[in-house]
Amino acid sequence: MACWYEGPLAAFDTETTGVDVENDRIVSAAVVIQDAPGTRPRVTRWLVNPGVPVPEAATAVHGLTDEHLQRNGRWPAPVMHEIAEVLSEQAVAGRPLVVMNAPFDLTLFDRELRRHRASSLDRWFESTPLLVLDPRVLDKHLDRYRKGRRTLTDLCEHYGVTLEGAHDAGADALAALEVVRAVGRRFAARLERLSPAELHTLQAVWHAAQARGLQAWFARSGTEEAVDPAWPLRPDLPAGPEVAA
């Protein structure tokens, strides 16, 4: 029987209006499904009119302008429902979902569900859990002493994965999927006996340890910056106290 990294995988990626998971919006998303290495991937894409201005800094990254999104993007509510349905299908099929830097994309998507669907990501996976593989967490744990950055571009270069059209949700999702396959092969002796469910649980532990290490580094550097240890989804922020009129 083939190891999980040689079997069916899916991947999810978003492009957004910024990097604030609580307030920024999704402008495009993609889910890529590949049944085996080397087979043609199936790609589903969404383009979203976020209903808020897209900062020039965000457009400079992904190339999506306000004008283009207003003309061609769909309203967020039905798109968020469709994405949740597709991700749920992956869970039901037992297909692990690759998400690069999962706490960003999955948390921002969760907030979009809450904003537009009065729902949450957890509600979609109460009966069948989502099994996430995060190439950033895997690489940092398995090759922790390697120097250098670990963006998707860096990981692609390190593992010999071609990334065509960076910052396109479909291209990034496919590249992240291929990186996970490459990580699996390179560290087969440490990974091949672990199931995706076991890896999902372990990654939460590994990410928390990585967050504590980064937090300690910030403290030594005199930087007051908090690092959230939650993975793959950050908890919802509690509502603030109501102010009397």
Q: Express each pLDDT in 23-75 by its tens digit.
A: 999 999 999 999 999 999 999 999 999 999 999 999 999 999 999 999 999 99
- Beta bridge partners, 18, equal none
Percent of the chain with pLDDT over 70: 96
Residues 6+ apart with CB under 8 A from 11: 31, 32, 97, 98, 99, 173, 174, 176, 177
pLDDT, the chain, mean: 94
Domains of the chain, first to last? 4-220 (3.30.420.10)
Residue 240, pLDDT above cutoff 80: no
pLDDT band at 214 (very low <50, low <70, confident <90, very high): confident
Residues 48 and 193: their CA atoms lie apart, in Å, by: 40
Alpha carbon distance 74, 50 (integer Å): 8
